[in-house]
Amino acid sequence: MRSSTAGVPTKLDLTAAIVLLLVAEATLFFTFLFIIGPFATLTRLLPLVVVVVLCTALYRGQEWARWALFAPIAFRVWRVVLLIAAAWGLGRTGIALFLTFIIVAELFAAFILLDSYVVRRQRPPTAVQHTDAMAARS
């Protein structure tokens, strides 16, 4: 049994957020590719490539990528929510639910990224960090 301290973000949290984002983006891209066809493939491929590059940077320890990932998430939510509303309005329940699950997955990944940052910022300093701070003052 693995013991963990409550409230301390782990690499697993980051990996879960990255997997959620990649699965949501890939699902959306390949759904449009196979259902609609290869029309505007580059337009649909660009957000997927951006998310893959930013997720790779975040996984390799680049903290700026955490904040940069919020831009494609916000753009995707802004665009797909209109499609969801249209699908509900036209009575296309299956499409609306499918797109809703994709948006919920992206929003959940964004919450994990934000939560892991907030929890890490609230963590009390360790003894080594406290000793280093005291040495810097004198």
pLDDT digits (tens, 9 = 90+) for 22-34: 999 999 888 888 8
Structure-block tokens of residue 20: 């959620």
pLDDT category of residue 8 using cuts at 50, 70 and 90: low
Is residue 5 domain-resident? no
Is residue 137 domain-resident? no
Alpha helices (H) in 60-92, listed in sequence order: 64-68, 70-89
Is residue 79 domain-resident? yes
Is residue 39 domain-resident? yes
Counting the structural domains of the chain, the total is 1
Burial class (CB in 10 A: 0-12, 13-18, 19+), 102: buried
| Residue span of the structural domain in which 32 resides | 11-123
Is residue 1 domain-resident? no
Is residue 21 domain-resident? yes
pLDDT above 60 for 12: yes
Is residue 104 domain-resident? yes
CA distance 59 to 61: 5
